[in-house]
């Protein structure tokens, strides 16, 4: 699913603005004369991968539809400290009131894109892809997923309806892997079925049941390599994903183990926002 657009995007951003503004922006209203115009530059103060500028722009436009916006840096581009991300001009009060929400989203999205790019670079030269997870802040998932794409990563399932993922609790409560996969096939024949495995017995059962994808969670690279080799001997080899506390120091070992993808929850659950500033002056 792509980031929301049109009315759906505007509704989300208006909710964010309402949360931040409250009854009114008292500082701006009391100190900045009505009619004042301003111009400014969004600047990267840390090295980062660009993501979220269209979202930030829309936040400002909701309060000043006539906002001028130019020199936008390309999504997915890597920039150094001091780089201009965009220039803007418009009604000073509107820009000041929208600033925090716009910067919060922009900093988060650039931070996610930057972290994603580091993981993508760490597995460069292998066919392995870097995936995100559903470990996102409620309400921010569309923005987080766009940032992952801008960083060169690939999105996993958007929500619980997108595919069947049989994890350990499902397996125990359904009566085992074979029963869980059979029930999933019967109830949702058009959806892909992924099964989390914790042993070679689980792996064999998942392959025998016809799982489309295998999730190897919290195993060593050596174990992942051995299980990948087993999976590749199946008549219909499943897609193999690895996950579990992946770091920049360890992720390449898993890629070299032969997995097709590695999911990294830290991309979105432990975001370190990029440092971005907006400096304004009278126009």
Q: What tokens appear for 188 in the block?
A: 């949702």
What pairing do the DSSP bridges indicate for beta strands 68-70 and 164-166?
Answer: unpaired
Name the active-site residue from 14, 37, 135, 185: 135
Instruction: Check if 135 is active-site.
Output: yes
202 carries an active-site annotation: no
Sign of CA pseudo-dihedral 24, 27, 28, 32: positive
Does the annotation count 100 as an active-site position? yes
Q: Catalytic site residue 196?
A: yes
- Point out the catalytic residue in the list 14, 167, 185, 226: 167
Q: Half-sphere exposure (CA, 13 Å, Cβ side) for 239? A: 15
> Which H/E stretch holds residue 260?
none
Nearest-angstrom CA–CA distance, 58 and 61: 5
Scanning the chain, the segments in alpha helix (DSSP H) are 6-21, 26-31, 53-63, 92-122, 141-150, 168-174, 177-187, 200-209, 221-232, 251-256, 266-269
Of the residues 39, 100, 129, 226, which is catalytic? 100
Q: What are phi and psi of 129, to 5 degrees?
A: -105, 150
| Residues near 178 by beta carbon (within 8 Å), at least 6 away in sequence | 205, 208, 209
Q: Which of 10, 20, 121, 217 is catalytic?
A: 217
Is 45 annotated as catalytic?
no
What residues are annotated to the active site?
100, 135, 167, 196, 217
């Amino acid at each position: 699913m792509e980031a929301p657009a049109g009315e759906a995007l505007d509704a989300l951003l208006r909710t964010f603005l309402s949360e931040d503004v409250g009854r009114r922006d008292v500082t701006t209203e009391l100190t900045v004369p009505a009619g004042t115009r301003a111009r400014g530059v969004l600047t990267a103060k840390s090295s980062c991968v660009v993501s979220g500028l269209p979202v930030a722009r829309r936040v400002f436009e909701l309060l000043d539809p006539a906002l001028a916006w130019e020199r936008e840096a390309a999504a997915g581009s890597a920039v150094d400290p001091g780089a201009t991300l965009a220039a803007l001009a418009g009604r000073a009060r509107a820009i000041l009131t929208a600033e925090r929400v716009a910067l919060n989203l922009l900093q988060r999205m650039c931070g996610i894109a930057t972290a994603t790019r580091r993981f993508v670079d760490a597995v460069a030269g292998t066919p392995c892809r870097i995936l995100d997870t559903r470990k996102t802040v409620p309400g921010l998932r569309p923005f987080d997923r766009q940032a992952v794409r801008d960083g060169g990563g690939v999105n996993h399932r958007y929500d619980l309806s997108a595919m069947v993922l049989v994890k350990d609790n499902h397996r125990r409560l359904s009566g085992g892997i074979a029963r869980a996969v059979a029930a999933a096939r019967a109830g949702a024949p058009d959806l892909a079925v992924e099964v989390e495995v914790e042993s070679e017995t689980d792996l064999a059962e998942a392959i025998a049941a016809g799982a489309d994808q295998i999730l190897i969670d919290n195993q060593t690279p050596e174990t992942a390599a051995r299980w990948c080799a087993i999976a590749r001997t199946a008549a219909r080899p499943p897609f193999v994903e690895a996950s579990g506390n992946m770091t920049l120091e360890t992720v390449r070992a898993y890629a070299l183990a032969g997995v097709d993808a590695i999911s990294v929850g830290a991309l979105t659950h432990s975001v370190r926002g990029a440092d971005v500033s907006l400096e304004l002056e009278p126009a």
